[in-house]
Amino acid sequence: MSAFLDIQNFSCGYSGGFKIQDISLSLPEGAFAGIIGPNGSGKTTFFRGVSGSLPLLSGRMMLDGSDLSKLSFREKAKKIAVVSQFAELADMTVEDYVLMGRLPYRKHFQFFDRKEDVEMAHHYMHLTNTYRFKDKSITELSGGEQQMAGIAAALSQQPRLLLLDEPTAHLDITHQLRFMNLIQRLNELKLTVMMIVHDLSLAAEYCDFLMMMKEGKTFCQGEPEKVLTYENIERVYDTVVVVKINPVSGKPVVFPVSERRLRGNS
**What pTM was estimated for this model as a whole?**
0.89
Segment 71-110, tens digit of pLDDT:
888 888 889 999 886 666 778 899 999 998 888 877 766 6
Segment 130-162, tens digit of pLDDT:
999 999 999 899 888 888 899 999 999 999 999
**Could you tell me the strand order of the sheet in which 19-27 lies?**
19-27, 5-13, 56-63, 66-67
| Side-chain half-sphere CA neighbours of 256 within 13 A | 8
The contacts of residue 184 (CB under 8 Å, 6+ apart) are: 32, 206
Residue 239 to residue 82: CA distance in whole angstroms:
31
Segment 38-63, tens digit of pLDDT:
999 999 999 989 988 888 899 999 99
SS3 content of the chain, % helix, strand, coil (to 5): 40, 25, 35
Neighbours of 114 (CB within 10 A): 13
Segment 208-257, tens digit of pLDDT:
999 999 999 999 999 999 999 999 999 999 999 999 999 999 999 999 98
**Domains along the sequence of the chain with CATH:** 5-228 (3.40.50.300)
Query: What is the percent of the chain where pLDDT is above 90?
Result: 60
